[in-house]
């Protein structure tokens, strides 16, 4: 498999180089040259296969022969060694829980997969590679956990000061070893722009790559759980709608790629908070990114979502074609809290803000009688403990893996601009 830059002025490259580069030399995101649908027979009989077999079938074409089959299967086994249940709430709505991994967020899948790929590719090198990543919340913790003690890999995480939850901050600032946290005086978009600038700066002395969803090894395995969910609900329901809480749009982009592979999903909904660049684009056809605004669903506080260009590429930049498979709606913090309460009151189910926005998207879309809606619960409620307990008037039990980090001391270096990042990286 070869990958091309969406800015179309860099040479084609391999999966290995795309992973190691993170972003193309022309500052574009990498995109697979070909997308070959999976056999209909496999999808029609998906319940006969294990999650590991499904994941291998989904990902193998994007890697080709660059990782031996036995090693790739072992990487997959380690990546998805936890559950991905669809929990039915209503007769036609279910929650796809993606928080059963080590950091209790959906990004555990991509982070674990990428860390193992990178460690394999870097096994015979004498010089370390530095993973440089921006986070609006859960990416940092997942990457820190996934790459902890990875041989030949150093990790530098940029996060916006005061704009992630306490637990999220602890998960990315307390591990030490090969993990370094940089606290940025700004918003997520500032962090992301710094990361992109560093990749293209020839005066940076380190070998850099990214672990944001701009990296193909972080983005592609997110297809897995759409297949896993389909396996669970397709025996009973044929018309399936996914509502995906969306910030940088890597997750829903992976779902749309799964659809291109032949997964028969009827429609996707990108549910956002007040950072509504994409919902507005679908209304007026003008893509006009704005600085991000802080909300209680902070992992989605993104004003210029990097992966939306990949979604446009999947639909040949045709807005009319995109709208046939894709809708997007935005919701306020007040609407989010009201829905969190309704979900808890009606179903005795604790939803954190991102999941509640996913549920709101299904309600806004309006499911028909024969349709089943799946909203993604992208993180455990404990990750947003303060807003969940304050909104629902409940006590959320603290899982053991969270207790372990809460007692540790935060260690982070403060920076205010790109020049300070550059100085840090060249130390």
From the list 16, 107, 337, 383, the catalytic residue is 107
Beta bridge partners of 269: 243, 327
Would you mind telling me the total number of residues written for the chain in this entry? Answer: 427
DSSP-assigned letters across all residues of 116-154: HHHHHHTTT-SS-EEEEEE-SSHHHHHHHHHHTT-TTEE
Instruction: Give the residue among 205, 178, 63, 170 at the shortest CA–CA distance from 121.
Output: 63
Q: 143 with 215: CB under 8 angstroms? A: no
- CA dist., res. 274 & res. 302, Å (int): 10
Query: Can you list the alpha helix ranges (DSSP code H) found in 122-260?
Result: 138-147, 166-173, 188-199, 216-219, 224-233, 250-260
37-46's contacts with Cβ under 8 Å and 24+ in sequence apart are: 37/260, 37/261, 37/262, 38/261, 38/262, 38/263, 39/262, 40/262, 43/262, 43/263, 43/264, 46/227, 46/230, 46/231, 46/234
317 is catalytic: no
- CA dist., res. 256 & res. 308, Å (int): 11
What are the residue numbers of the active site?
107
């Amino acid at each position: 498999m070869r990958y091309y830059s969406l800015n179309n002025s860099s040479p084609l490259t391999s999966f290995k180089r795309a992973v190691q580069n993170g972003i193309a030399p022309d500052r574009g995101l990498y995109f697979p040259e070909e997308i070959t649908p999976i056999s209909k027979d496999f999808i029609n009989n998906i319940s006969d296969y294990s999650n590991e077999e499904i994941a291998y079938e989904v990902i193998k074409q994007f890697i080709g022969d660059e990782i031996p089959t036995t090693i790739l299967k072992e990487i997959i086994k380690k990546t998805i060694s936890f559950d991905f249940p669809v929990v039915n709430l209503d007769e036609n709505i279910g929650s796809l829980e993606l928080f059963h991994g080590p950091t209790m967020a959906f990004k555990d899948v991509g982070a674990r997969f990428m860390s193992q790929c990178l460690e394999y590719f870097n096994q015979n090198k004498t010089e370390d590679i530095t993973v440089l990543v921006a986070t609006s919340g859960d990416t940092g913790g997942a990457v820190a956990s996934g790459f902890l003690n990875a041989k030949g890999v150093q990790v530098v995480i940029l996060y916006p000061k005061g704009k992630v939850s306490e637990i999220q901050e602890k998960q990315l600032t307390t591990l030490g070893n090969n993990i370094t946290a940089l606290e940025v005086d700004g918003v997520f978009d500032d962090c992301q722009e710094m990361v992109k600038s560093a990749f293209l700066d020839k005066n940076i002395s380190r070998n850099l790559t990214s672990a944001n969803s701009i990296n193909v090894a972080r983005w592609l395995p997110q297809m897995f759980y759409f297949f896993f969910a389909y396996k669970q609900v397709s025996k009973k329901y044929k018309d399936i709608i996914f509502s995906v809480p969306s910030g940088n749009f890597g997750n829903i982009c992976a779902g749309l790629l799964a659809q291109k592979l032949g997964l028969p999903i009827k429609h996707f909904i990108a549910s956002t908070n007040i950072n509504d660049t994409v919902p507005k684009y679908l209304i007026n056809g003008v893509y006009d990114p704005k600085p991000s605004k802080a909300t209680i669903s902070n992992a989605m506080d993104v004003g210029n979502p990097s992966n939306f260009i990949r979604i446009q590429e999947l639909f040949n930049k045709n807005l009319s074609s995109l709208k046939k498979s894709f809708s997007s709606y935005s919701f306020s913090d007040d609407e989010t809290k009201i829905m969190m309460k309704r979900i808890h009151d009606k179903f005795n189910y604790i939803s954190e803000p991102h999941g509640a926005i996913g549920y709101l998207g299904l309600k806004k879309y309006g499911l028909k009688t024969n349709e089943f809606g799946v909203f993604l619960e992208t993180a455990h409620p404990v990750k947003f403990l303060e807003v969940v307990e304050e909104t629902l008037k409940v006590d959320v039990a603290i899982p053991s893996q969270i207790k372990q980090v809460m007692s540790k001391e935060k260690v982070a270096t403060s920076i205010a601009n790109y020049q300070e990042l550059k100085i840090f990286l060249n130390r």
